[in-house]
């Protein structure tokens, strides 16, 4: 990164950033059109409406150009959204507060794979299933640990492979 590039980080609500603090006061002194940057942030985070999203704005202070990089919400936040819940169980692994489909687990795995350190998509799916345990979410009416065992046995290999193709192509 050259000396004229500044990186600013914000945590914004998807699709609902505003030119007020912290964004406006940070970008204004750099000579940027703050409403235009805020609109670009909102456009880029629209699909995460209602969730808090990490956003980085790279600003070239000489040319006044900028680039926006949108992070990924936490696995827990994505699972709660998919399950239509506000918060997870206070007694993880014992008290279940919701149920999601394996397809929704695959959807979340597709979103978080970019930040996962897992070597395979199958392992990302298992990470998401592990998060289901701690959140108190069943998967297709079953304990997530049972589903993890079935994933290990290869029972879901076709679904996982199809989902991986879908997320890498699109």
Domain boundaries, the chain: 5-70, 75-169
Could you tell me how far CA 139 lies from the centroid of its own chain? Answer: 19
Q: What is the pLDDT of residue 59?
A: 93
Q: What is the pLDDT of residues 43-102, one digit of tens each?
A: 999 988 888 889 999 999 899 899 999 988 889 889 988 998 888 878 877 789 999 999
Which of 157, 153, 101 lies closest to 129, judged by CA?
101
Count of Cβ atoms closer than 10 Å to residue 11 Cβ: 11
Q: What is the pLDDT of residue 138?
A: 94
Length of the chain: 170
Q: What is the pLDDT of residue 91?
A: 81
Q: Can you tell me the distance from the alpha carbon of 125 to that of 129, in angstroms, rounded to the nearest whole number? A: 6
**Confidence class for position 139, pLDDT limits 50, 70, 90:** very high
Q: 45 near 17, Cβ under 8 Å?
A: yes
Residue ranges of alpha helices (H) inside 73-120 are 75-83, 102-112
Half-sphere exposure of 41 (CA within 13 A, CB side): 29
Helix (H) or strand (E) holding 100: strand 98-100
Q: What is the pLDDT of residues 111-137, one digit of tens each?
A: 899 888 999 999 999 999 999 998 999
Is the CATH code 1.10.357.10 the one for domain 75-169?
no
Q: Can you tell me the distance from the alpha carbon of 37 to that of 59, in angstroms, rounded to the nearest whole number? A: 10
Q: What is the pLDDT of residue 170?
A: 56
Is the CATH code 3.30.565.10 the one for domain 5-70?
no
What is the DSSP-derived secondary structure letter of residue 39? H
Query: Are both 5-70 and 75-169 of the same fold?
Result: no
Q: 101 near 82, Cβ under 8 Å?
A: no
Helix (H) or strand (E) holding 69: strand 65-70
């Amino acid at each position: 990164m050259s000396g004229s590039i500044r990186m600013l980080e914000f945590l914004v609500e998807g699709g609902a950033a505003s030119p007020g603090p912290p964004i406006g006061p940070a970008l204004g002194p750099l000579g940027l059109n703050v409403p235009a940057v805020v609109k670009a942030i909102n456009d880029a985070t629209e699909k995460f409406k209602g969730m808090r999203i990490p956003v980085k704005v790279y600003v070239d202070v000489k040319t006044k150009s900028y680039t926006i990089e949108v992070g990924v919400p936490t696995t827990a936040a994505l699972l709660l959204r998919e399950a239509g819940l506000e918060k997870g169980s206070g007694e993880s692994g014992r008290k279940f507060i919701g149920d999601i489909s394996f397809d929704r687990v695959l959807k979340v795995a597709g979103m978080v794979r970019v930040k996962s350190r897992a070597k395979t998509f199958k392992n990302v799916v298992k990470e998401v299933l592990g998060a289901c345990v701690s959140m108190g979410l069943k998967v297709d009416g079953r304990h997530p640990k049972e589903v993890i065992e079935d994933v290990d046995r290869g029972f879901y290999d076709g679904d996982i492979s199809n989902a991986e193709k879908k997320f890498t192509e699109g």
